[in-house]
Amino acid sequence: MIERTAERGGRVTPVHGPGAGAPPLAGLGEEGERAALAADARDTVCRRAEFLLPPLPASARHPEVAYFAGNSLGLQPRAVRAAVQAELDDWALHAVEGHHRAAHPWLPYHAELREDAAALVGAAPEETVVMNSLTVNLHLMMATFYRPAGERTRIVIEDHAFSSDSYAVRSQAVHHGLDPDETVVRLRPRPGEDCLRTEDIVGYLAREGHRVALVLLGGVNYLTGEFLDIPAVTAAGHAAGCRVGWDLAHAVGNVPLALHDWDVDFAAWCSYKYLNAGPGAVAGCFVHRRHVTDPDLPRLAGWWSTEQATRFEMRPELVPVPTADAWQISNPPILAMAPVRVSLRMFAETGMAALRERSLALTGYLEALLAEVVRDRPLEIVTPSDPARRGAQLSLRVGGGAGGGGGGGDADATGLADRLHRVHGVLADVRRPDVIRLAPVPMYSTFHDCWRAADALAAEVTPS
């Protein structure tokens, strides 16, 4: 358990004490496997039994899959089926009256998710709303916070931003009549490096911030797993007069967040990765309190943006509420929100402090094992080695010949991932051209999963 926390640069960093779930010391081999299984037997945080695992390929050597793709799509909690069925039953029983009479009434349904979502991202309840999908929420936020004027027109993203973010910011530039190639600035790592340095982001904003209207970065980078220094970058953006928003798709449910205290202007996240709420699950959004209480901010609006008390008076004029609900447009999709409600409750029960503690142990253990594997093989860990600079992910760059697929790096990575799954039951994912991502998700991954992943890589990749 966490005995205390250390504040470093505004970020809360767990400090390990006795009993903190330190990783097994043994490496690969039979002794290492026994140590991993023993660590799992002592574990009191993992909730693996409460999730459904996909079936193994018939050729795999283990009784169940080692799932490392939760940073792409989380596993299904067993409780989700009953939660969705309950809403279907209430629909059948109450029809339209379910808006008021359902076990979880539909009219205020989204409000039932608010406190758990807020706690997960370090926000006040009135700063948080569960709605829409991630990129829709980013567009709604940019409709308010991206207001180019004069020479202040640029949008800053990272060069390795997820494609959807790139499309979104470029389309916003076009929407404002600007040239996206000139407006969107893509910050690149230093030559020969894979991850952005905080000082380079801060340095750019100090030099060019007077030309920047919006900074929009990923809290945890989808490709490398790097956890950016959100408070430092946010402060640098504000010092330069910029609005600062964050895409938390790979951060929420993965790393501790304190959006209100970090003074973030806005953030958005999806719920289908670490939050395990299902494919295309309803997303979330944060707007800082100083903005939600400003009725003069421009925002796109719809029926659910107005106050609930007068909503059914069908007035033509909007009456905004002093919460993040003011950015809602439509009524919530109940059948899609039921899995989110289940997921958020699980996170509230376990707590991000305990999950982060377990994540540090799992990822550190996997890193130690992989260090043995990559030492003499065409594999390279591109995720930062500093635990404070990463989430529950280690990304491996696959060199030529490692995957047995022939041709370039893409074929190698794809071929290797296929054999890890088909032969060893280790399910990871590939990001082109040459990266395999392994995500030891603290809610359900095990130390033995980590041992199996490293053992499988050692078996499938021939030493150089």
* CA 158/CA 188 separation, integer angstroms: 6
* CA 195/CA 113 separation, integer angstroms: 34
Cα-based angle 109, 114, 116 (whole degrees, multiple of 5):
120
Would you state the structure tokens that stand for residue 307, as one six-digit string? 């106050």
Which residues lie across from 128 on neighbouring strands? 286
Asked if 342 contacts 419 with a C-beta cutoff of 8 angstroms, the reply is: no
Among candidates 90, 409, 130, which has minimal Cα distance to 287? 130
* CA 271/CA 338 separation, integer angstroms: 12
**Long-range contact pairs involving 207-210 (C-beta distance under 8 Å, separation at least 24):** 208/154, 209/236, 209/237, 209/239, 209/240, 209/241, 209/242, 210/151, 210/152, 210/240, 210/241
Per-residue pLDDT of the chain (464 residues), as tens digits, is 222 233 333 333 333 332 344 566 678 999 999 999 999 999 999 999 999 999 987 777 788 999 999 999 999 999 999 999 999 999 999 999 999 999 999 999 999 999 999 999 999 999 999 999 999 999 999 999 999 999 999 999 999 999 999 999 999 999 999 999 999 999 999 999 999 999 999 999 999 999 999 999 999 999 999 999 999 999 999 999 999 999 999 999 999 999 999 999 999 999 999 999 999 999 999 999 999 989 889 999 998 888 888 888 888 888 888 999 999 999 999 999 999 999 999 999 999 999 999 999 999 999 999 999 999 999 999 999 999 999 999 999 998 656 544 333 445 899 999 999 999 999 999 998 899 999 999 999 999 999 999 999 999 999 98
Asked if 67 contacts 449 with a C-beta cutoff of 8 angstroms, the reply is: yes
Q: What is the pLDDT of residues 260-310, one digit of tens each?
A: 999 999 999 999 999 999 999 999 999 999 999 898 899 999 988 888 888
* First CA to last CA distance, the chain: 41
The whole-model pTM stands at: 0.92
